[in-house]
Every structure is written in structure tokens, then in C-alpha cells.
Amino acid sequence: MIARLRATVLCDLRLQWRNGFYYAAGVVVVLFVLLLRLLQGYPLSWFLPALIVNNIIVNGFYFVSGLVLLERAEGTLDAQLVSPLRRGEYLAAKIVTLSLLALVENLIITVVVAGLEFQVGLLSAGILLGMAFFVLAGFAIVTRYDAVNSFLLPSLIYTLLLALPLLPYFGVGQGALLDLLVALHPLQPILVLLGAAVTPISPGVVLFALVAGACWVGIAYLFARRAFGEYIGRAMASAEQAPKDRRASAFQWPVMLLDRWTGRLGVLRALGPIDAKNVGRDGMLRWMVTLPFVVALAVRWILPMVLDAMETWLALDLSSFYPPLMGFVVLLIVPYFWGALIGFLLLDQRDDRTLEALQVTPLPLATYLLYRLVTPVLLSAATTVAVLPLSGLVGLPFWALLVMAIGVAPMAPLTALALAALAENKVQGLALMKAAGVVLLPPLVAYFAPEQWQWAIAVVPTYWPAQLLWRLQSGAADFVIYLAVGLVYQLALLFLLVRRFERVMYREPGARLARNPGRAR
């Protein structure tokens, strides 16, 4: 058993390394360290448990889900069904490897926030119990889904339910029923242990949290084993039934339709309806289109209640910071999600080798890529003009909304190409999105940082749309400078990513053959 577990752990470590999990964690740690250093002097210890829980959810729930989906796509998970490896050993390997990553990442962040004035044992216990629970819960849930696209949207609902105790932690919600639900919630013992690491509590409460956390891990293990057994049953049943027909993938439709048109204009006219059909069929992509509007409505109606609760709890007046900071978040969400949508479409088409097939059609790759980049720019600009007024945070005239839409629109193709050029598959795309999400933080820090730090933060591309928004809100006449510099900087980064994407495409064997068909002879 020990030999099988050791071999599986080493295999998982290599798989996680190859898919960029450690790079993503390293980027997050470095950026958090830099940002937290800038915020020295502010009382951040109270926020530490919530920050660690966020990392645990990503490193545990989402990373194990991505690994399982990758193993299913590559056929390695089905191969393990006929190997001597047992279900418990497989799950234990996932827990060990991902917990090690989370432990190192969060210990570094904790040292930056609290120095050495924390209980290492309690913090480690909270992280390990949390990782074990979320890894097992993620595995039990993800085995019901066949692809990342179908999993991501329901995963948001699952994680919101699993993170329920964070609401009363921030002072939101009251009542006996909510208190009972929180007390019985599997995340509550983890929050108690993480909080006890920086704020001493009674030993009895700590002991209860340890026992309760271990019990929840045991329950999650039972569900994970059962889900594994159900997956084995489905795999065996599908293996016995030969498929009678194979329906073409949604992302193979461009290849089929391109055979019907020989002119480039006809091809471009065909791509729009095809993409609309793909988005309509894909649940994740369909919801990503509407998500910016949902976020804007939540910012307008729900977040003010959270803000009022936090003001009462922290005894701080946050109302003056809310419109500019949350306005920036809403502003960046629009191109971020449009870019992610196009980026995952490109990753899907790379996985299905559709992009390689396109290179032997009348449509050049450069023309197709231009279409892919212009589309999120236009959609992002149009959505920004609609979403910002909907959030109720930005009381700007229409001309200023157009300026903001133009200034932030290039972030959409930047996000799309970052996914398509730097990730080899959707699992790496998930890891990259974790690292990319941190670029939202530097502009928020720049709002409070002294002048000498502004140019250091300006290397982050999201800095310029943020400054453009705040200049427009304050009525400053120099907003034109931030608009012009931001556009030039984003276009320069876009050019570098386009070159990177072209190298990735022509590096693949099928793409090289399509580019040089004479080699096939």
C-alpha cells in the first residue's frame, strides 16, 4: 500500500507541476506579499481566515476538479480502475499533494500578515482539515460532470453553499436559524481553527473544532468513495455499450461549414452564427455572458447590506471608498468574463484540433485570430456601457461611459489570449485564472498607496483603466493621458501575446504539417 501511495503521490506532483498549479500558487504568493507589504499598518489579521478559506476553496475544490477532469479526458482515470490502486489511496494522494501546496502558500501569506505571532499548529490543522474536506467534496461533485464547461457554473453554487459561514463572519445575517446552520456547517470548524491561530480562544472550543472538522472530513470521504464507485459503474456500463452514432462536437462545426465556402468573406459571415450556437449549447459559456449583469445587480442591491454590516462590525466608515473601488471591480469584470469566454472557446478548439483543421481551409489563421480578438473588444465595450449604469456606482455622462468602454475593452482580448497562449488545456486555464485574478488587486492598493508607489503598480495593465475611471469620477482633465497610455500599453501586451499564440499553434505537429503540406509527401 505504501509503495502504491508513494508512486501515486509522485505522479500527482508531476501532473500538477506540468499543469502550472505551482506557478499559479507562486504568482499569487508573490503578489499577495507585495500588496500586503504596501498595506502595512492596517489591521489585516481579522481578514486572514477568510483569505485562507478562499485559497483552500481554489486549491482544494477547483484544483482537484480540474485534475479529475483532465485524467478523464486523457483516459488515465479509467486506466486506474483496472490497476491495483485502491480508491482510498487515490483520494489520499490527491489530499496529500494539494494540501502540501496550500500549506506552503498560506503559511507564507500568514507570516506576511501576522509576522510570527500566530499558532503554527492551529493554523496548519485548519488548513489541512480544510483541504482534506474540500478535495473530497470536489471529487464527489466533479465525477458527475464530463467537462470543465458543464462543471464550472454548478460549482459556483456548490462553493457558495460551502462558504456560507463567511456571511456571519463578516457580520452579515442574524437569527437563530442562520446561527444553527453555521454551527453545523463543515466550514465552521475550519474558520474557528484559523481564527484561533491569530486570536486566542478557549482550549475547549479548539478541541471541539478539531473533532468536528475531522468528523466532516470522514463524512466527505464516505461521499467521495461512493461517488468513485458510481463513476466506476457508469464507466463499465458505457464500455459495454458501443456507441451507435457519434454526434459531431459543437466545436467541429466550423470545419464542416468551412468546406461549403471558399471565399474568406463567406467564412467570416459563418463564424458569428456558429459561435452563437456554441455559446447557446454550452451552459458555462451561456452563463458567463449574463454574469456581468448579475454581478452589477448584486453590487447595486446586495453589497450595500454587506457594507453596512462591515461598517458596524469594524466601526469604520467605508461609504466613501465603495463607489470608486467597487466601480473598478464592476468595470474589470466585463472584459474579464468576455475574455475568459473567448479564451475557453479557443482552448476547446485547440483540444478538438479545430484550429489545426482551419489552417488547411481558405481562412488564414491570422484572419481567424483577428476575428477572435475584435469580437470580445466590441462585446466588452457594449456591455460596459450597459453594466456600469446598472450597478448604480458610476454616475457619469454617456460620453464618459464610452471613454471608459474604449479604455477597458482591450482587456478582453488580453484575457482571451493569455488563456489560449499560456495554457495548454482547460485545467491549466483554471490555474491561470487563479493567478490572473490577482491582477485586480494592485489598482485597489494604488488607490491608497503613496505617489512613489504608483509607477511600480503601473506595470499591471489593470492599473490604467482604474485610474481612468477615478479621473473621470473626480472630473480631472488629465484622464486623456491615462486613456492614451493605457491603450498603448494594452496593445503592446496584446501584440506580444499574439506572437506567443502563433508560436504555440505552429509548434504543434498538425499545425506544422498544415503550414508546410509538402512535408507530407
For 140-156, the pLDDT digits (tens) are 998 888 777 667 767 87
Classify residue 240 by burial, with Cβ atoms within 10 Å: 0-12, 13-18, 19+: exposed
Closest to 102 (Cα-Cα) out of 84, 139, 127: 127
Tell which wins on pLDDT, 117 or 509: 117
Which domain-ending residue is among 209, 238, 267? 238
Q: What does the pLDDT look like over 469-518, one tens digit per residue? A: 999 988 888 899 999 999 999 999 999 998 888 887 766 554 444 444 44
The pLDDT score that the predictor gives to residue 192 is 92
Report d(CA 507, CA 107) in Å as an integer.
Answer: 39
CA 330 to centroid of chain Cα atoms: 16
Q: What does the pLDDT look like over 416-464, one tens digit per residue? A: 888 888 887 777 777 777 777 777 778 887 887 777 778 888 888 999 9
Q: Quote the pTM value.
A: 0.70
245 lies in some domain? no
The pLDDT score that the predictor gives to residue 41 is 63
Report d(CA 298, CA 447) in Å as an integer.
Answer: 23
212 and 233 in a single domain? The answer is: yes
Is the CB of residue 436 less than 8 Å from the CB of residue 28? no
> Three-class SS of residue 268?
helix
The pLDDT score that the predictor gives to residue 285 is 60
Is the CB of residue 469 less than 8 Å from the CB of residue 393? no
Work out the pLDDT band at 251, boundaries 50, 70, 90. very low
456 and 339 in a single domain? The answer is: yes
Angle (nearest 5°) at CA 509 between 506 and 513 = 80
| Range in 252-256, 394-398, 401-405, 454-458 the model is least confident about | 252-256
357 lies in some domain? yes
336 and 461 in a single domain? The answer is: yes
Is the CB of residue 418 less than 8 Å from the CB of residue 345? no
CA 304 to centroid of chain Cα atoms: 25
Closest to 118 (Cα-Cα) out of 504, 236, 424, 126: 126
Helical H runs in 246-364?
253-258, 264-281, 283-301, 303-314, 322-351, 354-358
244 lies in some domain? no
% of the chain residues with pLDDT over 70: 78
Domain count along the chain:
2
269 and 146 in a single domain? The answer is: no
The pLDDT score that the predictor gives to residue 318 is 65
Work out the pLDDT band at 366, boundaries 50, 70, 90. confident
68 lies in some domain? yes
Is the CB of residue 192 less than 8 Å from the CB of residue 205? yes
Task: Give me the chain's average pLDDT, please.
Answer: 79
Identity at 236, one-letter amino acid code: M
Q: What does the pLDDT look like over 330-351, one tens digit per residue? A: 888 888 888 887 887 788 777 7
In the predicted structure, residue 259 carries a pLDDT above the cut 50: no
138 and 168 in a single domain? The answer is: yes
In the predicted structure, residue 42 carries a pLDDT above the cut 70: no
In the predicted structure, residue 286 carries a pLDDT above the cut 60: yes
Cα distances (Å, whole numbers) of residue 471 to 383, 454, 481:
21, 14, 10
424 lies in some domain? yes
Summarize the chain as % helix, strand, coil (round to 5). 80, 0, 20
The pLDDT score that the predictor gives to residue 158 is 87
Count the Cβ atoms, other than its own, within 10 Å of residue 445. 18
302 and 211 in a single domain? The answer is: no
Report d(CA 518, CA 514) in Å as an integer.
Answer: 9
331 and 368 in a single domain? The answer is: yes
114's CB contacts (< 8 A; 6+ apart) are 45, 48, 198
Tell which wins on pLDDT, 153 or 240: 153
| Among 67-71, 120-124, 147-151, 225-229, the range of highest mean pLDDT | 120-124
Is the CB of residue 387 less than 8 Å from the CB of residue 109? no
The pLDDT score that the predictor gives to residue 220 is 94
The pLDDT score that the predictor gives to residue 515 is 46
% of the chain residues with pLDDT over 90: 21
Identity at 490, one-letter amino acid code: Q
477 lies in some domain? yes
In the predicted structure, residue 37 carries a pLDDT above the cut 90: no
In the predicted structure, residue 260 carries a pLDDT above the cut 60: no
Identity at 258, one-letter amino acid code: L
229 and 268 in a single domain? The answer is: no
Classify residue 293 by burial, with Cβ atoms within 10 Å: 0-12, 13-18, 19+: middle
First-to-last C-alpha distance (Å) of the chain: 51
Closest to 16 (Cα-Cα) out of 100, 82, 92, 134: 100
The pLDDT score that the predictor gives to residue 45 is 74
Report d(CA 331, CA 406) in Å as an integer.
Answer: 12
Q: What does the pLDDT look like over 73-116, one tens digit per residue? A: 777 777 776 777 788 888 999 999 999 999 998 999 888 877 88
The pLDDT score that the predictor gives to residue 255 is 37
261 and 232 in a single domain? The answer is: no
Tell which wins on pLDDT, 89 or 352: 89
Stretch 169-198: mean pLDDT? 82
Domain carrying residue 87? 2-238
190 and 279 in a single domain? The answer is: no
Q: What does the pLDDT look like over 293-330, one tens digit per residue? A: 887 887 777 777 767 766 666 666 666 777 787 788 88
Report d(CA 80, CA 235) in Å as an integer.
Answer: 12
202 and 300 in a single domain? The answer is: no
In the predicted structure, residue 165 carries a pLDDT above the cut 70: yes
The length of the chain, given as a count of residues: 521
Is the CB of residue 56 less than 8 Å from the CB of residue 95? no
Long-range residue pairs from 490-493, CB within 8 A, at least 24 positions apart, any chain: 490/410, 490/411, 490/414, 490/461, 490/464, 491/410, 493/414, 493/461
The DSSP line for 25-36 is HHHHHHHHHHHH
The pLDDT score that the predictor gives to residue 264 is 43
Q: What does the pLDDT look like over 199-236, one tens digit per residue? A: 888 999 999 999 999 999 999 999 999 988 888 777 66
226 lies in some domain? yes
Residue entry with cell 482552448 = 347
180 and 310 in a single domain? The answer is: no
